Structure 1
Amino acid sequence: MKKLMILWVAFFLQNSSAIFSQTTSDSLLPIRGFCIAAPQSSQLDNFIKFIKTELAPRHVNRLILRVDYNYQFESHPELRNPQALSKKEVKKLVAVCQDNQIELIPQINLLGHQSWASTTENLLKVYPQFDETPHVQMPEKYVWPNPDGLYCKSYCPLHPDLHAIVWDLVDEICDVFQAKAFHAGMDEVFYLGDSKCPRCSGRDKAELFAGEVNLIRNHLALKNRKLWIWGDRLIDGKTTGIGEWEASYNNTHRAIDMLYKDIIICDWHYERPEQTAVYFASKGFSVITCPWRVPQNAILQTQDMRKFRQYANPEMKERYLGMMQTIWSGAESFIKEYYDTSNIQDPQKSQKATFIGLFNEINQVK
């Protein structure tokens, strides 16, 4: 009996850091997320290995995969990307995440981000009638700023034929990923309520934005799924001084008072550790803070989130859900960066260093 007790004490001392780290992380930061583009089919095995060897040991419990058209849709095969993931391959992702207690959340960019640089994304390429600004031609060589104010195209939220296709995509991707939640993007929407759109012209941009978000939320609710969105369009970029990228200059910020409160807000700020999580929580929303590539900012944002949960009143406390690392290169590029640092030009702006710093801060014992 004495020998057994000694062995138990030795085991406890050896593993106490991991035990307390998990407990502390769960109580202070319930969501520890990681957001990245879904891998191409040829890179699936490397990505699954990354989940097992890097995400799981750091107790990541939400994996947001930006799938968009990188899946072999059966409902709309015309929208598939080349090398898109098959249903069988997605099932492998689902299995490894379930084995490691990671909730998998797929994303398809809705409303905005229907183009990138000089490339039109599949929805508007196949269905150009959904384009909010068909008069804006895609340039051969993209530059910003430009006379058309083109960053990314948007679809027209009031087109009568749009949502039948969108719902097919959303339902199919949620089913195959066995998802309890869906991320709709909704960030950086510059084209909305365009003066030349026969349906949207003259309408309130805040009402258009809120109408689309609530419509998506209601569709997901039919199957008890939650909606996640990026939060930038709900912040007044001029009043706050945050600007037109991480916040809104086209009055969509007023939509925050028109939305269902069960929508999860992913509050991203990359160059400064803005404390807008407090704003979203005070408006009744649950919020996740999302850094990208500046390690020191990610650490400060994590410390802020921990303080919000520790010191806020009970009504507000539970709305501060945690942290989510965002990666804005492809899965293959990030994994290459992660294991080969020889090509990193600026370590002060490194996705890998931010990832490591963020989860070290999350998992340290307090």
Structure 2
Amino acid sequence: MRKFANLLFIVFSLVFTNPVVAQDELPVRGFCIAAPQVGELDDFVRFIGEELAPRQVNVLVLRVDYNYEFESHPELRDEVALSKEQVKRLVDVCQKHSIRLIPQINLLGHQSWASDLGNFLKVYPQFDETPHVEMPENYEWPNNDGLYCKSYCPLHPGVHGVVFDLMDEVCDVFETDAFHAGMDEVFYIGDDQCPRCSGRDKAELFAGEVNKIQNHLAQNNRQLWIWGDRLLDGKTTGMGMWEASMNNTHRAIDLISKDVVICDWHYERPDKSAVYFAMKGLNVLTCPWRNPANAVLQTRDMFDFRASATPEMKVRYQGMMQTVWSGAGAFMKEFYNSKDTNINSASNCFRAMFDEIEELTANPDQNKK
């Protein structure tokens, strides 16, 4: 009888002191896309509620740039831009579904596209890192100037007064605790003809800009997110000049604040550089685009990283974020109208990534097959 009582005690102890632990879930299930144009707003608000929320998306990065009626610098607004009231509709639907809303403005690089200057350098040409490089009438790549996208000069004494105004205003209106600064594909930095940057270490210039932006955001308890490509060595890794750096900015990884969140994008190959960022003490997300097969492999890798990591490393593997490089309207049209799920596209990649997240969350042993 005593043995039976002891057995009951052991069973009781196991059941009530060792409850079943919920399956591990990714901290971030993210989606990144251009902020909708004014005429797309209704459809996009509906898309958030009907497509993002059911997939348990909990982070939405919106590439705003100048698609907002800035009050601090109205001269930088797009010709047609979202009003404060329209942005609040996005804020409300995201708060309703517990989605963290993060606005993006491209900083440092991506200040032009093809033959057109962006609003920032068009209005403030004095901030141009390479004013001697003229915008071509018919853009081609490659070209003699090495022009992909223009950059602003990070050492110009007037540039951050404008940049910080824009950051503060867009963060306030989006009621956010984070800001995405882009900072990808920066080919023009420390130009030999720049009177301020010439001869300076490109890694130090890049890190200095990252830290300056991060320090400003931290004053209001906000977090900086950036793309990770400039922090990877394109030559050593073989990743090249697009998904990594060939102009020596990669050493900035040891100079930037550990509070910065890295969005690690790889579109052609499912490279495992998230491990590198995590080992450097940085929180990291893996970001696919239009290749569903790669997205599935990248999602499995992220679950594997978290499952096999030390506690110190695990918390740095923050999850997955689908990226979209068309406008919101074009993506929604593709998403709802595309019938062929076998082709490479952002909408098919989106479906594949979130289906895989759902499968691995529900059946974690599936990843071991």
Is the TM value for this pair above 0.5?
yes
Q: Which of 241, 254, 258 is the equivalent residue of 1:261?
A: 258
Provide the residue aligned with 2:249 in structure 1: 252
Provide the residue aligned with 2:316 in structure 1: 319
Structure 2 CA distance for aligned equivalents of residues 275 and 50 of structure 1? 31
TM-score if structure 2 supplies the norm length? 0.91
Provide the residue aligned with 1:348 in structure 2: 343
Larger radius of gyration: 2
Instruction: Give the residue type in structure 1 aligned to 2:187.
Output: F
Provide the residue aligned with 2:28 in structure 1: 31
Provide the residue aligned with 2:148 in structure 1: 151
Alignment partner of 1:164 is 2:157: no
Q: How does 1:70-89 map to 2 (within 5 A)?
A: 70-89=67-86
**Cα pair 1:236 1:253 within 8 Å, conserved:** yes
Instruction: Give the residue type in structure 2 aligned to 1:87.
Output: K
Q: Which runs of 5+ in 2 are unaligned?
A: 1-19, 364-369
Q: CA deviation at 1:348?
A: 3.1
Structure 1 CA distance for aligned equivalents of residues 311 and 301 of structure 2? 17
What secondary structure sits across from 2:241 in the alignment?
coil
Provide the residue aligned with 2:352 in structure 1: 357
What secondary structure sits across from 1:58 in the alignment?
coil
Post-superposition CA distance 1:61-93 (Å, at most 9, x none): 000000000000000000000220000000000
Structure 1 CA distance for aligned equivalents of residues 342 and 152 of structure 2? 38
Alignment partner of 1:297 is 2:311: no
Post-superposition CA distance 1:175-208 (Å, at most 9, x none): 0000100000000000000000000000000000
Structure 2 CA distance for aligned equivalents of residues 260 and 28 of structure 1? 26
Provide the residue aligned with 2:45 in structure 1: 48
Structure 2 CA distance for aligned equivalents of residues 259 and 208 of structure 1? 11
Post-superposition CA distance 1:203-229 (Å, at most 9, x none): 000000000000000000000000000
Post-superposition CA distance 1:12-69 (Å, at most 9, x none): xxxxxxxx9xx64xx3311000000000111100000100110000000000000000
Q: CA deviation at 1:141?
A: 1.1
Q: How does 1:1-366 map to 2 (within 5 A)?
A: 24=23, 27-341=24-338, 347-364=342-359, 365-366=362-363
Provide the residue aligned with 2:5 in structure 1: none
Structure 2 CA distance for aligned equivalents of residues 138 and 337 of structure 1? 32
Structure 2 CA distance for aligned equivalents of residues 329 and 79 of structure 1? 22
Structure 1 CA distance for aligned equivalents of residues 281 and 314 of structure 2? 11
Post-superposition CA distance 1:131-179 (Å, at most 9, x none): 0000101111111000000000000000001100000000000000001
**Cα pair 1:28 1:310 within 8 Å, conserved:** no
Structure 2 CA distance for aligned equivalents of residues 262 and 88 of structure 1? 32
Structure 1 CA distance for aligned equivalents of residues 25 and 100 of structure 2? 18
Instruction: Give the residue type in structure 2 aligned to 1:263.
Output: V
Structure 1 CA distance for aligned equivalents of residues 228 and 323 of structure 2? 14
Post-superposition CA distance 1:213-259 (Å, at most 9, x none): 00000000000000000000000000000110000000000000001
User: Which stretches of structure 1, 4 residues or longer, exceed 6 Å deviation after superposition?
Assistant: none
**Cα pair 1:28 1:309 within 8 Å, conserved:** no
**Cα pair 1:327 1:334 within 8 Å, conserved:** yes
Post-superposition CA distance 1:257-288 (Å, at most 9, x none): 00110100000000100000000000000000
Provide the residue aligned with 1:16 in structure 2: none
Instruction: Give the residue type in structure 1 aligned to 2:179.
Output: F
